[in-house]
Amino acid sequence: MRRYAATFLAALLAFGWASGAALARAGARDDGRATAISRHEQSHANVHAAPAGRARAPRRGRRAPAVASPGLTQRGHASVYASRLAGRRMANGGRFDPRSDTVASRTLPLGARVRVTNLRTGRSAVAHVRDRGPSARRRILDLSPGLAARLGMGRTGTAPVAVTLLPGLSTPAEAAPRRR
């Protein structure tokens, strides 16, 4: 039974539902005496435990969008959407237009307005977050081909960018009051 309790506590810790103190108590009995924990249980618990003083990295594909505030600036690499994706549905339900000012972000909220600045050329443009992506881990944005041309990304397909979240809603339709 103790073996299952230690495994259960390690699973709770792995999902962030228990503290490190709970895992430390896994080796203690109700009467205060220490119990033996097998090496398998110790190694299993250590694999899933987050390092002390650092937050656990989210699992790939399960990252929740960050709560963003206007003025927030991110720096990283951006890539260009393939033009062959034209007409496909995006995360906001609309269809992708390669000439639009669309960007895809894993962390910025859908519908947000952002200023994207190409750090190589210094050019900037206002865009709207309408999709989720990119799938490449080291990139922070996917840009539509039209927006990439305005930023002067050239034929490389990637560029270092700075992304600043702008206040306000992205479209007049979102600003209109909802009918009941």
Using the predicted structure, report yes or no on whether residue 42 has a pLDDT greater than 90. no
pLDDT tens-place string over residues 26-39:
444 455 555 555 55
Report the range of poorest mean pLDDT among 20-24, 52-56, 131-135, 160-164: 20-24
The contacts of residue 7 (CB under 8 Å, 6+ apart) are: 41, 44
Domain coordinates in residue numbering, the chain: 2-48, 73-175
Q: Regarding the domain delimited by 73-175, which CATH topology (the fold level of the hierarchy) does it fall under?
A: Barwin-like endoglucanases (2.40.40)
E strands, the chain, where? 73-80, 102-104, 113-118, 124-131, 139-143, 158-166
Using the predicted structure, report yes or no on whether residue 98 has a pLDDT greater than 80. yes
Start-to-end CA distance of the chain, whole Å, equals 56
Longest CA–CA span in the chain (Å) reads: 70
